[in-house]
Amino acid sequence: MRTISILLIAFITSFSLTAQDITGQWNGVLKVQGTQLRLVFNVTKTNNGFSSTMDSPDQGAKGIPVTNTTFANSKIKFEVANARIEYNGELKGNEFVGTFKQGGQEFPMNLSRTTIEKEVVKRPQEPSKPYPYYSEEVTFQNTKANISLSGTLTLPKKDGIFPVVILITGSGPQNRDEELLGHKPFLIISDYLTKNGIAVLRYDDRGVGQSNGDFKTATSADFATDVESAIIFLKTRKEINEKKIGLVGHSEGGLIAPMAASKSKDVSFIVLLAGTGIQGDKLLLLQQALIAKANGVSETDIKKSIEINSKLFEIVVKSDDNIKLKTDLTNSINEMLKNDTSAEIPNGMTKEDFVSM
In a domain, 156, yes or no: yes
157 lies in the same domain as 254: yes
Helical ranges in the chain per DSSP H: 2-19, 185-195, 220-234, 253-263, 280-294, 299-318, 322-339, 351-355
Last residue within a domain, chosen from 226, 256, 273: 273
Give the number of domains in the chain: 3
End residue of a domain, out of 47, 81, 112? 112
Q: Which helix (H) or strand (E) covers residue 199, if one does? A: strand 199-203
CATH number reported for the structural domain that contains residue 49 in this entry: 2.40.128.120
7 domain residue, yes or no? no
Q: 352 pLDDT exceeds 50?
A: no
Q: From CA 117, how far away is CA 37, in angstroms rounded?
A: 11
Final residue in a domain of this structure, among 239, 273, 307:
273
Task: For helices 322-339 and 299-318, give the axis angle rounded to 10 degrees.
Answer: 150
Do both 142 and 37 map to the same domain? no
pLDDT digits (tens, 9 = 90+) for 240-297: 999 999 999 999 999 999 999 999 999 999 999 998 888 878 888 888 888 888 777 8
- Write the pLDDT tens digit of every residue in 285-339: 888 888 888 777 888 888 888 888 888 888 888 888 878 888 888 888 777 766 6
Is the domain of 51 the same as that of 107?
yes
∠ at Cα 222 (221, 223), nearest 5°? 90
Q: How far apart, in whole angstroms, are the C-alpha atoms of residue 221 and residue 258?
A: 11
Bond into 130 cis (ω within 30): yes
Q: How far apart are CA 117 and CA 138, in angstroms?
A: 31
For residues 13-39, give the mean pLDDT. 75
Domain ranges, residue 39? 19-112
Do 233 and 257 belong together in one domain? Answer: yes
Q: Would you place residue 183 in the very low, low, confident or very high pLDDT band (cuts 50, 70, 90)?
A: confident
Tell me how far apart the alpha carbons of residues 227 and 157 are, in angstroms, rounded to a whole number.
Answer: 24
For residue 65, give the 3-state DSSP assignment. Answer: strand
DSSP-derived pairing of the beta strands 162-168 and 24-32: unpaired
The β-bridge partners of 286 are none
| Structure confidence by residue, pLDDT tens digits, 101-133 | 987 788 999 999 999 887 777 788 899 899 999
Q: What is the DSSP string of 200-255?
A: EEEEPPTTSTT--S-STT--HHHHHHHHHHHHHHHTT-TTEEEEEEEEEEETTHHH
Same domain, 262 and 294: no
Closest of 321, 291, 309, 318 to residue 349, by C-alpha: 309
Question: pTM for this structure?
Answer: 0.65
Cα–Cα distance, 315 to 65 (Å, whole number): 31
